[in-house]
Structure 1
Amino acid sequence: MAMHLLDLMDALRRMTLIRAYEDTLVTLLSQGRAGGTCTSVGGEASAVGVVSALAPEDLILTNHRSAGHLLARGADPGRLLAEVMGRRDGYCGGFAGSLHVSARELGVVLTSTIVGGELGLCTGVALSQKVLDKPGIVACFFGDGAAAEGRFHESLNLAAVWELPVLYICENNEWQAYVHRRETMLGDGIAARAAAYGVDSASVDGCDVAAVFDAAATAADAVRSTGRPFLLETRGYRLRGHLEPDDQAYVDAAELARWRGQDPLDVLRRRLEEAGLAPAELDAVTREAEARMEAAVAFADASPLPDPARLLDTVYA
């Protein structure tokens, strides 16, 4: 097994940028300058921890709550914001919005707004990797809601039978749109389900980026060495509503308050302070992220709208 180390300050920078991006997007939405979107607030440690454990040649498929995964992979916040605002300099020329982003240069094959849609596609991508003898594994992010879909069974079963190099990452954030996980499934988690398919699994605290990284690195190594799938469950909580704007009136206030006490950014900041970093050093990271987002907004605002003549360029029949 390879030795893996996570730079915690770099992790904080990326997690803080993700949070700043989502906060900026919510502000733009309130101003009527962007459309509704599903934020990844509360999932920053899962995104950064897992993506940090991937290799450059690995491929990613993800879902509608994808900004954290894209930014953790190195996406430019200006281009990502331009895409959400429907501008030509976005990753998909302004045609994808926030729910269907593809960034080939980052190895992000697609994001799917269909719940579990990426589960139905990752097996095909992994089969291609295997048949073409390519080195990369396939990382497939999905939520606990998708684990209640038939595609979850179909995907894990096929990946196990065909021995496909898929790292499944279930980001269990306790919410399935506007419905709590407890209302839709029995049992406390998702990871244990993998055993029925002969697939190894692990569950980890999704609010602790270091723990997520360690678990993801171990899981990714297992997929590389065996060529078989692995299911990693990261346990966290969705700190904002399903689709912005959302007042979260359906969320138990006491439960939300408890989980806010485990905010992944605060957890990491406390760890770094205990390691001897001064609060001023950590505050500088926040200012850096805010400055990057100011530049990102300026870039997106300056980007022109797409040419209507190109509307059907990527539509196939």
Structure 2
Amino acid sequence: MSAPEVQDYVGFDTITQQMERKFLKRGFNLNVILVGESGMGKSTLVNSIFSTHLVDSQGRRTAQEVIRKTTEISPVTQTLEENGVRVRLTIIDTPGFGDQCNNEGCWVPVIKYIKDQHAAYLARELKPFRDRIINDTRVHACLYFLNPGSRGLRPLDVEVLKRLTEVTNVIPVIAKSDSMTTDERTLFKRRVKEEMAFHRISVYPYACDDDVDEDRALNASIRDLIPFAVVGSEETIDVDGTVVRGRRHGWGVINIFDEAHCDFVHLRNFMLRTHLSDLIEVTAQRHYEQFRTSQLRQIKELRDQQSAAAAAGAVPPGAVVAQQQPPSAPLPHQPMAQA
């Protein structure tokens, strides 16, 4: 009689399957903010990326409509599902941004919104009895639209990009790149890269020392494409019996899925197929962590000052205790629509 075989297989390699089942059941949040002037095709591009009609244009449709004098925040939330994976997608538009003769401070509502979401998440995280799963309203990506007629970064672009890159993952795109020739587009990209390097503007994806060779090569190829020259379209066009999604011009047809025509496919693959998880992770570990550290340090300094004042007899002890709680964070902006 032969001895029974020893089973050496333990089974901890199934943890990825366990995590996948839990992740699929719970779903995830993806929050993208669109920053750019009116008429840059922001809504059309987002609808093209997700192959569905998510948001309507926030621009003026008639001459009678009132011109926005300030930057507004317009979030729209929908739940999408693909092959069993569910995402709660929030698109935040910023109508009125950069549309005035004097655009000083037009970025303030945008920065405030992003920081408000960090503050709201921190407030929920610091609750004595917090939720097991905190609803994540933090902005994971910012699509910043460059005007193709500017031929480079304007002073407004430099100022806003400097501020945005401190609080979120910025992905610059050249809006309506079909309005440029191939040579103009190449020159535009080169100028933007040189100007971002000169002004020390670091956009996503960031260089990390712990990246493996494969990730390092992928990120390098993406940085070569930045800023992405994009064209969005929700229209289908018949070209010699082949239906394509694109735009028809007097000189021909732009197929947004043709890599020779624009970088739309590269942008979509970058955001959704290769770096979606990383966008969420970097938001939590880089931008939110910096905000959280800064806020907790301020709270500690305030408590130390109050304790010192109480010890010196300048403040009654009861007043110190009453102010020990961390400041309440502003509530997150509520979505306008929800599926």
Q: TM-score range by the shorter chain?
A: 0.3 to 0.5
Q: Which has the larger radius of gyration?
A: 2
TM-score (norm 2): 0.35
Return the TM-score normalized by structure 1. Answer: 0.37
